[in-house]
Structure 1
Amino acid sequence: MRVRALQTSAIFGAMLVAGPAYAQCSPDPTTSYGTTNCTGTDSDGLTVSTSGTQVVVAADAVVRPGSSAAAIINRATNTSLAIRGRVDGGAGKAGLFVTTGPATSVPCDPYAGATPFYCVPGSTVTSYPSVSTNISVAQGGTVTGAQGILIQRDAGNSNGNIHATISNRGTISGTAGPAIVADQMGFGTLSV
């Protein structure tokens, strides 16, 4: 009896060690002014929602969207995405989706410098988040999906701007049309 129990434990342990490597983008969620490294296969996508974040997709890594709108969604300012591996949205989703967050109501505070214009203390003002990012696709890197890169404001944000710079030495492709689609950027900029 003891021998069989030990054999079963050893076989189960070997299965755990020999199983497929499901590395994630880490840390996920991202951290402000931190670096998120993606290695191996990440099958549930990554959302960048913190300012100053750097994302590095390693040469052997694959990032897929899972149930997300894209493999990587960027909703933050001053970010950089270094794509050395594969970012793959599949046939129906974008590889990279650069978008603003929705408009939100925030408390008025004309004394703290948080409100750029005068407002009545105690009231609320509407904040329209903007996005700025640098995307670098290295030689051997691939960004693909229905659109390789989709740049578009959130439907609930009529005033936010998007500023994106794309440097491509790899491959950016769209399976359902253009590789790069820029739509509703506000007064933003796109440099390729």
Structure 2
Amino acid sequence: MANYTFGSKSGNLGNGVLTQNDHEAIKTDYDAHGMRRTVEALLITHLHGHPHVLILKTAASTRFQFPGGVLKPGESEQQGLKRILDALFHAEADADAESVAQESMTWTVGECVSNWWRPNFDANMYPYLPPHVSDPKEHRKLYLVSLPEKLEFTVPNGQELVAIPLFDLYQHKSKFGNQIAAVPYYLSGNDFVYND
């Protein structure tokens, strides 16, 4: 964590809770492009001898969410996630840029560690596609993203980037939600090697 610095910039990501407008946006996207494709980043760092997960927290509430967003039609998951992370954390990045800028941050998008499905136009998401659902409304993928050796995060106003110890996520879905609380399960098959 000592290699990273944190600043702020204008902009707001909301509070992570689906509002009526969000439901309408999902419906509108679905009507125009079909199933919404969302990608998110699992960012892990080392602090006090233990792995920590970097999660966005809404400053005015206790809502947590992974950094990520909606892919553009035809955009690859890896390039889209790089574009979204640049827009979130790079002071000069534009969220609507067609491609990742040459001077953008260096993100290494690794394996997909989880899939979540939204069967209907509501808040419920599942870590599997229910067998009776043939037309899901959203598919959300969580990718393990390696951080560069040094990085300056510029976080949108109204948000905080917090480092949560991996052990604090385990069995705390009432605080973090199902998707974030499941991170220890996703990572249980991995060994962590830290570079000095």
Superposition TM-score, scaled by structure 2 size = 0.24
Bigger relative CO (Cα 8 Å, ≥ 6 apart): 2
- Structure number with the higher strand fraction is 1
- Structure number with the higher helix fraction is 2
Superposition TM-score, scaled by structure 1 size = 0.24
